[in-house]
């Protein structure tokens, strides 16, 4: 009886892990940059007074802070390299299938190239792209903004590797 309950709970946890949404958000307007597994973990890049950059990792109810720029200055110890078998490369078809599995929740590109002639040349291209639902803007005010919000689920990534 207890074994069946534990197996049922394990099955539900695995099902939840396959269906939980994974979000990637890059927002230069609000300065938000994070990767989130809904209700489980969130890794965000934040500014810091002394170290310039910190990575905040929130797992369940615990917070961890990492400073990746501290690792740049530390000397690495040399290891004896063993011969490794050559890695298998992922093909272009599989890569495109994985990229197609992502859903774009929000996309806003607002750029100024600094050259008014280049902006004028890009204006018809961006207006043609705007025929669909994405928002691409050219401005002449010096603003450069990007808002990208992607969402995916692990089951869709697995399905893209396996041909169903």
Report, in angstroms and rounded to the nearest whole number, the Rg of the chain calculated over CA atoms: 22
Buried (b) or exposed (e) across 127-140, using 16+ Cβ within 10 A? Answer: eeeeeeeeebebee
Is residue 85 in a domain?
no
Does 161 share its domain with 109?
yes
Total number of domains in the chain? 2
The percent helix, strand, coil of the chain (3-state, each to 5) is 30, 35, 35
Q: Is 123 found in the same domain as 64? A: no
Please report whether residue 12 resides in a domain.
Answer: no
pLDDT bucket at 70, cuts 50 / 70 / 90? confident
Mean predicted confidence (pLDDT) in 65-87: 73
111 and 154 share a domain? yes
pLDDT of residue 164: 53
Q: Are strands 103-111 and 135-138 parallel, antiparallel or unpaired?
A: parallel
**102 and 151 Cβ atoms separated by less than 8 Å:** yes
158 & 110 share domain: yes
pLDDT at 127 over 90: no
pTM score of the predicted model: 0.76
In which residue are the tokens 């690495």 written?
76
| Average of per-residue pLDDT across 96-107 | 90
Last residue of some domain: 54, 71, 88?
71
60 with 113, same domain?
Answer: no
CB neighbourhood size of 160 (10 A): 20
Domain limits at 36?
31-71
In a domain? residue 128: yes
Please determine, for residue 36, whether its predicted confidence score (pLDDT) is greater than 90: yes
């Amino acid at each position: 009886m207890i074994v069946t309950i534990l197996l049922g709970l394990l099955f539900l946890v695995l099902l939840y892990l396959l269906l939980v949404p994974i979000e990637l958000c890059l927002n230069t307007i609000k300065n938000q940059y994070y990767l989130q597994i809904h209700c489980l973990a969130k890794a965000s890049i934040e500014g810091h007074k002394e170290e310039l950059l910190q990575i905040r990792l929130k797992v369940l109810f615990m917070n961890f802070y990492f400073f990746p720029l501290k690792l740049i200055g530390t000397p690495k110890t040399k290891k004896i390299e063993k011969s490794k078998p050559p890695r298998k490369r992922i093909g272009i078809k599989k890569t495109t299938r994985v990229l197609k599995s992502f859903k774009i929740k929000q996309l806003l590109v607002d750029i100024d190239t600094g050259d008014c002639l280049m902006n004028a040349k890009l204006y018809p291209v961006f207006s043609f792209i705007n025929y669909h639902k994405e928002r691409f803007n050219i401005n002449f005010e010096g603003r450069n903004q990007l808002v990208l919000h992607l969402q995916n689920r692990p089951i869709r990534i697995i399905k893209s590797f396996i041909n169903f």
